[in-house]
Amino acid sequence: MMIRAKHIFFLILSLFFSSLGFTQVCTTLGQTPASAFPVCGTTNFHQQTVPICGLTPLFVPGCTDGANYMDTNPFWYKFTCYQSGTLGFLITPNDPNDDYDWQLYDITGLPPEAVFSNHNIIVTGNWAGTYGTTGTAAGGLNYIHCASDPAAGASTFAAMPNLVQGHQYLLLVSHFTQTQSGYSLSFNGGSAIITDPKLPLIKSAVAPCDGTKILVTFNKDIKCNTLAANGSDFRLNIPGAAIIAANAAKCSSSFDFDSLELTVNMPLPPGTHTLYAKIGTDNNTLKDNCDHEINVDDSVQFTVYPLYPTPMDSIVPVSCAPQTVELVFRKRMMCNSIAADGSDFTITGPSPILITGARGNCENGLSFTITLTLDKPIQKGGVYTVHLKNGSDGNPILDECAQATLVPSSLNFIVKDTVNADFSYHTNFGCAKNQVAFFHNGQNGITQWLWNFDNIQTSTLQNPVKDYYDFNPKNVKLIVTNGVCSDTAEINLVFNNYMKASFEITSLVCPGEKAIIKNQSVSNSPLSWNWNFNYSSSSTLQNPPPQIFTNNFPNTVIEVPVTLVISNAYGCYDTATQYIKVINNCFIAVPAAFTPNGDGLNDYFYPLNAYKANNLQFAVYNRLGQQIFYTTDWTQKWDGRFKGNEQDPGTYVWTLRYVHADTKKLVEQKGTVILIR
C-alpha cells in the first residue's frame, strides 16, 4: 500500500517540533484565531508572504488516516453571515506548486480558540495534497478530503457550504508547503451575503472626571488603519479645546476596534458638549471593514459633571447565608485605593460579622463594584449596615477622578433567616387505609412548601394530610423557602401495621412423605399465627412442624390447600394460601400393553407415576430399530402414531432413563410394550 507523501511530511513536522518541545508561536496579526482578518464580502486578500509558524493539532472529521493535521503557517479570516445562502471562495497560490489547505468553523457564541478543542463546529474543509488552487465550488466534494499524495490528483474543491444568517465563522488557510510564498483569497460565487449592510456611526461618548479623557464607542467595528493617532478624526464644539490623541487598545492585537479613548488638551467645563467626526490628517474619516466611512460631522453629545465624591450607590441583593457582600458605585473606583484586608469597611447588624477582605472587579485598574469577604456566612436574618472608613492603607477609597468617598458613610442591606425543612407527622392506623398528617412549623418567614410523596403526588400546603392504601415503606420529601433561603428534608416513612402473609411448602408429596413449611411472612409489629392444613388440622405456631398429608384414592393426585392467616395488634389480618399435590402412588412403572382406540381406557403409553424422575428420557422404537417417539416430560404420552400415522399392532421396544429425586441415583430400564388395536 502506498504511503502518501503528505502523511509523511505531517509526521516529520510533528516529530521535529515535538523533539524541540514546542510549536512555533504565531505573532503576526491574522495568524491566530483571536486576531483573524475581518472579511467584507467585497474584499480580496493578497498575502505576499506567509510567516512560518503554528503546528497546533487540529481535528478533521472523517480523517482517521494517521496524518497529523495542524494549522501549518496559518492565516485566519472572520466574517458574519447577514443573509443565509452558500459560500464561495477561491485560494490562488502565488506559486502554482504550493499546497494550501483550509477548514471552515462556525464559532457562533464561542471564543475563537474553540477551533482547537470543539469538534462539533467544523462546517467543511479540504486537506488534499494536490498543488494549486483550492476553495469551494458548485461541483465540489460534499465531504472533507483528507491528506493525499500530490500525484493522486485529488480534488481540492469542496461543495459550497450553507451559511446561516446571524452566525459567525472562522476560515483557516493553512500553508502546507514550507515556503513563505503567499496567495490570494477572494470571496465570490455563493449566494450568502457576508457584507455588513449597517453604516458606521458614533454610538456614545462618556467624559469622566474633568473631561481630559473621552471614551467613545461605535455601532460596529472600525478599521485600525483608518484611525489617526493624533486624534484629528474628531473635533469638539468648545472654544480652545482640541483633541490631541486617539488610542484604540484593541489595535495592538486586532485589525479593528469598537471603542477608543480620546485625549483633550485641557479640562472641559461642566455641561453638555458635542463630539464631531471629521477628516483627519490621514485624509479620511474612520472606516468600517467594508470601507464605509463615518459621515463628516456625525456627532454625539456627552456631559461633563462637576467633580464630587462618589458615594456608595447600592448593594447587590445578597443570597442565603451570604459570605460576600457586593457594593456598587456610580463611577469606577481606583482598585489601588481598596485595602485588600477589607479595613475600609465594617459591618454591623443582628449578629457580629468581621470583614476579612475586599476586592474590585478591576479592568485597567478601575472597578464599578467592590466585593467584601466575610469571616463566616450570615445566618441570622435582619438589617445589616456597611460602614465606610479609612482603611489600613491610610486612605479612603478613591474614584477614577481621585475623589475620596466621604467618611463616614453607610448602606443597609437585608439578610433573610436560614430555614429548616425538618417536619413531623402523626399516623392514624387502619387496616384498609393509613392516614398521615404532616406538620411543619413555618418558622423564619417561610412562604412556600413543596411536598413530594414518592415522586407520584405533590402538595403546596404547609400541613397536608395523605391517605395510604398500601403499607409498604414510603418516601416523603419537603422543600421550603422564604424567597431567599431554602432547605430540604426527606424521610422514609415506615408503617408499624405493615404485614404480609407468605410461606413456602413442599409442592408435591408421595405417600409417607412430610411437607416442609417455611414461614416467609414479614411485619413491622408482633403477629399472631393461624395455620390450617386441609381443614383437618391447624397450628398457631410461627413455624409449624412438617406435616403429613394422605390421599386414599388409587392412582390419583389431589391438591390440598394450606392456609396461613396472620393478625397484628391493630386488628388487621392477611391471608396466604398454597396448594400441595398429594400423590397416591409414586412407584415408577411402565405398562406392558396399551390400546389407542379412543375409548378413554389405556389410550396412551407412558411411564406411570414418574413424579420423582429428574432428567427423564423416554423413547419408543419399532421392530426396525427406528425411534418413533421420544420425550423428556413423562406427562407427554405416546398415542400409537408416528408422524401422524397409526402404527401397526405388535411389539415395540422402550427405554427409560432418569435420576431419582430422593436417592440421586441414575436409573436405566428397557422393555417391550404391545400395541393392541
CATH number of 616's domain: 2.60.40
30 and 92 in a common domain: yes
The per-residue pLDDT for range 422-469, each reduced to its tens digit, is 999 999 999 999 999 999 999 999 999 999 999 999 999 999 999 999
Q: Are residues 557 and 470 in the same domain?
A: no
Q: Which of 380, 415, 450 is the last residue of a domain?
A: 415
Same domain, 30 and 176: yes
Is residue 76 domain-shared with residue 180, that is, in the same domain?
yes
Residues 6+ positions from 33 with CB-CB distance below 8 Å? 76, 107, 112, 113, 115, 116, 170
Task: Check residue 23 and give its pLDDT.
Answer: 60
pLDDT greater than 70 at residue 54? yes
pTM, full prediction? 0.58
Q: Are residues 21 and 97 in the same domain?
A: yes
pLDDT in tens, 302-326: 999 998 899 999 999 999 999 999 9
Mean pLDDT computed over 491-495:
97
- Characterize 66-96 residue by residue with b for buried, 16 or more Cβ atoms within 10 angstroms of its Cβ, and e for exposed: ebbbbbbbbbbbbbbbbeebebbbbbbbeee
Would the CA dihedral through 59, 61, 67, 73 be positive or negative?
negative
Q: Is the pLDDT of residue 521 over 50?
A: yes
pLDDT at 15 over 70: no
Given 389, 415, 441, the domain boundary residue is 415
Interacting residues of 627 by C-beta distance below 8 A, sequence separation 6+ = 619, 620, 621
| pLDDT over threshold 90, residue 83 | yes
280 within domain boundaries: yes
Kindly tell me if the per-residue pLDDT of 7 is higher than 60: no
Residue 17 has pLDDT above 50, yes or no: no
197: in domain = no
pLDDT score of 20: 38
Overall average pLDDT of the 578-595 stretch: 95
Q: Domain check: are 378 and 399 in the same one?
A: yes
Residues 58 and 135 in one domain: yes
Average pLDDT of the residues of the chain: 93
* Residue 406 predicted with pLDDT over 70: yes
- Kindly state whether residues 99 and 216 are assigned to the same domain: no
Structural domain boundaries enclosing 282: 202-304
Predicted local distance difference test score (pLDDT) of residue 3: 34
Amino acid identity at 176: F
Per-residue model confidence as pLDDT tens digits over 646-667? 999 999 999 999 999 999 999 9
Residue 588 lies in a domain: no
Average pLDDT for 584-589: 94
Is the confidence at residue 479, as pLDDT, over 70? yes
pLDDT at 94 over 90: yes
Q: Is the pLDDT of residue 378 over 90?
A: yes
How much of the chain exceeds pLDDT 70, in percent?
A: 97
Phi-psi region of 496 (alpha: psi -120 to 50; beta: other; left: phi over 0): alpha
CATH number reported for the structural domain that contains residue 480 in this entry = 2.60.40.10
pLDDT for the residue numbered 5: 47
* 383 and 457 inside one domain: no
Model pLDDT, residue 562: 97
Average pLDDT over residues 299-304: 96
Q: Can you give the pLDDT at residue 68?
A: 86
Rounded distance, CA 145 to CA 131, Å?
Answer: 14
6: pLDDT strictly greater than 60: no
Tell me, yes or no, whether 59 and 136 share the same domain.
yes
Does residue 506 sit within a domain? Answer: yes
Residue 213 lies inside a defined structural domain of this protein: yes
More confident residue, 43 or 471: 471
Whether 483 is in a domain gets the answer yes
Q: Domain tally for the chain?
A: 6
Q: CA-CA distances (angstroms) from residue 518 to 358, 544, 547, 646?
A: 72, 9, 12, 49
Residue 221 located in a structural domain: yes
Of 523, 550, 583, the position where a domain reaches its end is: 583
**Does one domain contain both 650 and 562?**
no
- 307 versus 500: the higher-pLDDT residue is 500
For the stretch 664-671, contacts whose Cβ atoms lie closer than 8 Å and that sit 24 or more positions apart, written own/partner, are 667/588, 667/613, 669/590, 671/590, 671/592
pLDDT at residue 19 greater than cutoff 60: no
Taking residues 87-111, what's their average pLDDT? 96
Instruction: Print the SS3 string covering 348-414.
Output: ECCCCCCEEEEEECCECCEEEEEEEEECCCCCCCEEEEEEECCCCCCCCCEECCCCECCCCEEEEEE
- Residues 153 and 41 reside in one and the same domain: yes
Residue 515 is assigned to a structural domain of this protein: yes
